DNA sequence: ATAATCTTGACAATTTTACTCGGGTATGCT
DNA sequence: AGCATACCCGAGTAAAATTGTCAAGATTAT
């Protein structure tokens, strides 16, 4: 059930954008260095995030990336799903296009996979980038002295 | 976040044992055919389950496998973990031996991964094979006419 | 113009998955 | 005893996924 680096790096990059980004775009290089992710690889991931409408790009010199919406309007669920596809533990309980099987017994295990999927959905769809920023602020104390 | 066939086949095989098994052992062949799993492959999986103490084996002619405990005492969590290892979405929040990272920011995403892991844990540790049998009985109606 | 940056697509190493195969060992039945 | 039926064990392997790298081009601030 491990998340691949796609989902993990993607969330880290988006969190970086939420924490350090603002009016002016952040370059890929900045994010990649701060989050210790290979720049060409992050390039791929952020291209996916852009197509999913989660970040906006600004081309040319001093360009970079911006969050497409406010941090409280971006759930980690939308980030993870855009990069990993469905988070369902089995194909037959995928959110979008479940490929059902015919066997009666399979349906019993199907109930199980669905319970797991719903439980994961509930968590990742209820947590936004703003929630993560709040967690971070709390972790660092009121003066935020450990901000990077 | 998809479960591999190990976990899925393992749960199916254990459910088969819970549903059809009794005093006399079920042969691997029987389970493999009924659940449509390659027999030599299931052999590997059930060997792991045996080492984890979830099933007992009876060697020789008319031998096979039995659940080591009653269905209400076997959680799907124990089955999945024995076959897949930790179900944590990231290594740093593994139940057993979390490999922590040093970076402050990582710890924010770590909080997220931990919330996901705990949510999955809660589901799979609360569901037993008996629960699945109950689901099955309910699905088939009181006369259980669709039992295989 | 030039440098910084995004954009795209192809390619490649490594790891994991999902098996197969071949030979053992134990046990009940005749 | 001998045979059939099973479990037991370790090695090997093809395909897929993961985790990237690389090169060439497009766009824009200065």
Whether the predicted pLDDT of A148 surpasses 60: no
Which range is least confidently modeled, A14-23, A102-111, A124-133, B132-141?
A: A102-111
Nucleic acid strand D within 7 Å of A44 CB:
yes
- Please, which residues 10-29 of chain B have a Cβ atom closer than 8 Å to chain A? 11-12, 15-16, 19
DSSP class of A56: E
Whether the predicted pLDDT of A106 surpasses 70: no
Q: What is the pLDDT of residue B105?
A: 63
Is B136 within 8 Å of chain A by CB?
yes
Please give the residue of chain B at the shortest CA–CA distance from A125.
B116
Greater pLDDT, A27 or B98: A27
pLDDT, one tens digit per residue, over B11-61 is 999 999 999 999 999 999 999 999 999 999 999 999 999 999 999 999 999
CA distance B140 to A115: 20
How far does the CA of A38 sit from the C1' of C27, in Å? 59
Query: Taken in order A96, A99, A104, A107, is the CA torsion positive or negative?
Result: negative
- A111 pLDDT band, cuts 50/70/90, is very high
Q: Which of A34, A87, A139 sits opposite B107 (nearest CB)?
A: A139
Residue A81, token pair as written in the block: 């799903």
Neighbours of A38 (CB within 10 A): 11
What value does the mean pLDDT of chain B take? 93
- A96 pLDDT band, cuts 50/70/90, is confident
Neighbours of B140 (CB within 10 A): 15
Q: Which of A89, A105, A107 sits opposite B1 (nearest CB)?
A: A89
* Chain-chain contact of B15 with A105 (C-beta, under 8 angstroms): yes
High-pLDDT (> 70) share of chain B, %: 93
Query: Taken in order B75, B77, B78, B80, is the CA torsion positive or negative?
Result: positive
Nucleotide closest to residue B60 (CA–C1')? C27
Residues of A in contact with B3 (CB under 8 A): 1, 89-90, 113
CA distance A11 to A77: 9
Residues of A in contact with B16 (CB under 8 A): 105
pLDDT, one tens digit per residue, over A68-77 is 999 999 999 9
Reported for A103-107, long-range contacts at CB under 8 A and 24+ positions apart, including other chains, are A103/B36, A104/B139, A104/B140, A104/B146, A104/B148, A105/B12, A105/B15, A105/B16, A105/B19, A105/B34, A105/B35, A105/B136, A105/B148, A106/B12, A107/B139
How far does the CA of A4 sit from the C1' of D18, in Å? 8
How far does the CA of A146 sit from the C1' of D15, in Å? 47
Residues of A in contact with B132 (CB under 8 A): 108-109, 111-112
Q: Smallest CA–CA separation between A135 and chain B, in Å? A: 7
| 8 Å CB contact between A89 and A1 | yes
Q: What is the pLDDT of residue B96?
A: 82
Burial of B32 (0-12, 13-18, 19+ CB in 10 A): buried
The predicted model scores a pTM of: 0.93
Domains of chain A are 5-86+128-141 (1.10.10.10)
3-state secondary structure chain B: CCCCHHHHHHHHHHHHHHHHCCCCCECHHHHHHHHCCCHHHHHHHHHHHHHCCCEEEECCCCCEEEECCCHHHCEHHHHHHHHHCCCCCCHHHCCCCCCCCCCHHHHHHHHHHHHHHHHHHHHHHHCEHHHHHHHHHHHHCCCCCCCC
Average pLDDT over residues B119-137: 97
* Chain-chain contact of B108 with A3 (C-beta, under 8 angstroms): no
Q: Which residues pair with A133 in a beta bridge?
A: none
Neighbours of B14 (CB within 10 A): 29
| 8 Å CB contact between A50 and A42 | no
Q: Report the footprint of strand C: residues with C-beta closer than 7 angstroms.
A: A 25-29, 40, 43-44, 46-47, 50, 57-65; B 4-6, 38, 40-41, 43-44, 59-63
Q: How far apart are the first and last CA of chain B?
A: 31
């Amino acid at each position: 059930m491990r998340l691949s680096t796609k989902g993990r790096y993607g969330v880290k990059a988006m969190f970086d954008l939420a924490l350090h980004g603002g009016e002016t775009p952040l370059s890929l290089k900045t994010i990649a260095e701060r989050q210790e992710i290979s720049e060409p690889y992050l390039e791929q991931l952020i291209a996916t995030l852009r197509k999913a409408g989660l970040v906006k790009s600004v081309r040319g010199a001093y360009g970079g990336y911006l969050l497409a919406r406010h941090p409280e309007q971006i759930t980690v669920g939308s980030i993870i799903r855009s990069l990993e596809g469905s988070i369902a533990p089995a194909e037959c309980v995928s959110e979008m296009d479940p490929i059902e099987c015919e066997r009666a017994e399979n349906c019993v295990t199907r109930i199980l996979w669905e319970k797991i999927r719903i439980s994961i959905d509930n968590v990742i769809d209820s947590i936004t980038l703003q929630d993560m920023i709040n967690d971070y602020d709390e972790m660092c104390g009121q003066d935020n002295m450990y901000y990077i």
